[in-house]
A and B are shown apart, each in its own frame.
Chain A
Amino acid sequence: MAPLSGIPGSGLAKGLAVTLRTMTKRSVTAQYPDALPELPPRSRGVIALFEENCTVCMLCARECPDWCIYIDSHKETAPPAAPGGRERSRNVLDRFAIDFALCMYCGICIEVCPFDALFWSPEFEYAESDILDLTHERDKLRDWMWTVPAPPALDPAAEEPKEIAAARKAADKAAAAAAAAAATAEPGQGEQAEQGEQSDRSDRSDDQGKGDA
């Protein structure tokens, strides 16, 4: 630039050169409805709900900075596990809705969910002509769950995910106990105790396993 600027008209020529060079390059226009965009992984398109994992803990609704999550639930009781025990109670989700007209896509609800029930989906084509229609209910949010991509692969030297490590540890322990039981003379007693413990553990790991999916 500096050595050229001495020649009169070099600025004009430079302007022409820039436009001509741009013309020979491929244009950057994305022909969106005809060609879908290539979205980066972890795109924040829409929030999907994996409702099987939701325990109605309300953390997401309370953490949401613009209060765009609506949750209704009721409590159901189940008969006691053992006779004479207390009734078990659990929360049942009645309504889970996100108002995407208010949502600012901060992702705090997804971060804060302790049971991995909320996920980012790259799906973005859910425009509506009425702002009220942007409040999407649980069935729609559940449908978006199918568009959630698999979690990115771990780094080569990364530590094993916590839930897999825990599950493996439990499995190892169970196998060792089974081996020990087989080694001792009486097989019947040891196995029963073993089974009770195992089913308890599998319940927990089941929850986490789904969240992982």
Chain B
Amino acid sequence: MNDTLDVVLRLIAVLVVFLVLPLLVGQTEHKVMAHMQGRLGPMYAGGFHGWAQLVADGVKFAQKEDIVPADADRRVFQLAPAVALLPYLLVLIAIPVGPDGFVGQTVDAGLIFVLAVMGVGVLGSLMAGWASANKFSLLGGLRTAAQLMAYELPMLLTAASVAMAAGTLSLPGIVDGYHWWWTPWQLVGGVVFFTAGLAELQRPPFDMPVADSEIIFGAYTEYTGLRFALFLLAEYAGIVVLCALTTVLFLGGWHGPWSGSAGWLWTLVKTALLAFVVIWLRVSYPRLREDQLQKLAWTVLIPLSLAQIALTGVVKVVIS
């Protein structure tokens, strides 16, 4: 009975985090992006500096008609938003927040689980693109697929480098083994991982799959109402997951001053800082072209990640 309660409480906590943090990131994006462009952003919803803007957006999305195009593959079309969103919820369960089992569920091969499940999220866009019966959606879906192919590889390679350094695949184990000099040691890997993660989330400047000036909104062109909102939520949940994962793998998770009592806070702060960087990059850089995107992945990121693995191996052999 007690075990059941424990599991239920943990799941509820993860669900709450899953529902709240993406909205926080979204609201931060509204405001940070606005101020970076010399604007104010939402100011009215909720009364104080538009804090309830995303709530209002949610209400608006819920009111909209849910349309499925006549020629669409109905089942797949309706299922796609869930496939895009749910993997991030699953990943969140395995991400350690604080020391001593402050995690939804400890998974032994957590790193593999997390990366595998994150890859599933992209399938949602692929399904949406194929099922919409729309050429723009199809183009978007194909771009998503190409992007997944190109960027999953450097992401896995750099994650493997961290796993080599820590000698474990368990996420809490990796954070436990962390020393401060890991960050400079794995710096290149961290940058590659973060960049590849951004590309996999289709965040600007890697948002060719939804490039609105070229293919309307890519795989999501035909979506309206709540299903569209779910895709948007998936993007922000993806930001949270990517930032949390980068924190855990490369920035030492809960390590920091007073990590004994406030370790979870360190994880959250580092995650929030990375989320700010995600927004910052979106505001600062224009979208890459499709071929530039592929070129970046295959000629820059993959060699860099291989070099990182070599460096990790050499250092590992030297110090052991």
Contacts and interface: CB of A to CB of B under 8 A. Distances in A.
Contact of B38 (A12, A16, A28, A31): A28
Interface in B247-289: 280-281, 283-285
Contacts of B45: none
B39 interface: yes
Interface stretch (B28-36, B107-115, B139-147): B28-36
A19 interface: yes
Contacts of B281: 16
A27 B283 contact: no
A23 B284 contact: no
A80 to B, nearest CB: 68
Contacts of B280: 16, 19-20
B285 A27 contact: no
Given A19-B280, A20-B280, A25 B38 contact: yes
A20 B36 contact: yes
Given A25-B38, A27-B35, A29-B38, A19 B43 contact: no
A37 to B, nearest CB: 15
A23 B40 contact: no
Interface residues of A, number: 13
A89 to B, nearest CB: 60
B37 interface: yes
Contacts of B43: 31
How large, as a class, is the contact surface on chain B?
10 to 19
Nearest to B43: A31
A18 interface: yes
A15 interface: yes
A25 B37 CA distance: 10
Nearest to B34: A27
Contacts of A22: 35-38
Contact of B36 (A19, A28, A29, A31): A19
Given A29-B40, A31-B40, A23 B35 contact: yes
A15 B38 contact: no
B269 to A, nearest CB: 19
Interface in B11-68: 32, 34-40, 43
Nearest to A26: B38
Interface in A1-48: 12, 15-16, 18-20, 22-23, 25, 27-29, 31
A15 B35 contact: no
B163 to A, nearest CB: 28
A44 B37 CA distance: 30
Contacts of B38: 22, 25, 27-29
B34 to A, nearest CB: 7
Contact of A29 (B39, B283, B285): B39
A47 to B, nearest CB: 33
A189 B35 CA distance: 81
A18 B37 contact: no
Contacts of B35: 22-23, 27
A55 to B, nearest CB: 50
Contacts of A19: 36-37, 280, 283-284
B40 A27 contact: yes
A18 B285 CA distance: 11
A129 B43 CA distance: 26
Nearest to B279: A19
A16 B284 contact: yes
Name the residue among A19, A22, A28 with the largest chain B CB count within 10 angstroms: A19
A28 to B, nearest CB: 5
B284 A27 contact: no
Contacts of B32: 23
Nearest to A12: B285
Nearest to A21: B36
Q: Which of A18, A23, A25 has the most CB of B within 10 A?
A: A23
A23 B36 contact: yes
Contacts of B284: 12, 15-16, 18-19
A34 B25 CA distance: 28
Nearest to B37: A22
List the 9 shortest-distance A-B pairs measured between CB atoms, nearest first.
Answer: A19-B36, A15-B284, A29-B40, A23-B35, A23-B36, A19-B284, A19-B283, A27-B38, A28-B38
Interface of A: 12, 15-16, 18-20, 22-23, 25, 27-29, 31
14 contacts: A12-B284, A15-B285, A16-B280, A18-B284, A19-B283, A20-B36, A25-B38, A27-B34, A27-B40, A28-B38, A29-B38, A29-B39, A29-B40, A31-B40
Given A16-B280, A18-B284, A27-B34, 15 more contacts: A12-B284, A15-B285, A16-B281, A19-B280, A19-B284, A20-B36, A22-B36, A22-B38, A23-B32, A23-B36, A25-B38, A27-B38, A27-B39, A27-B40, A31-B43
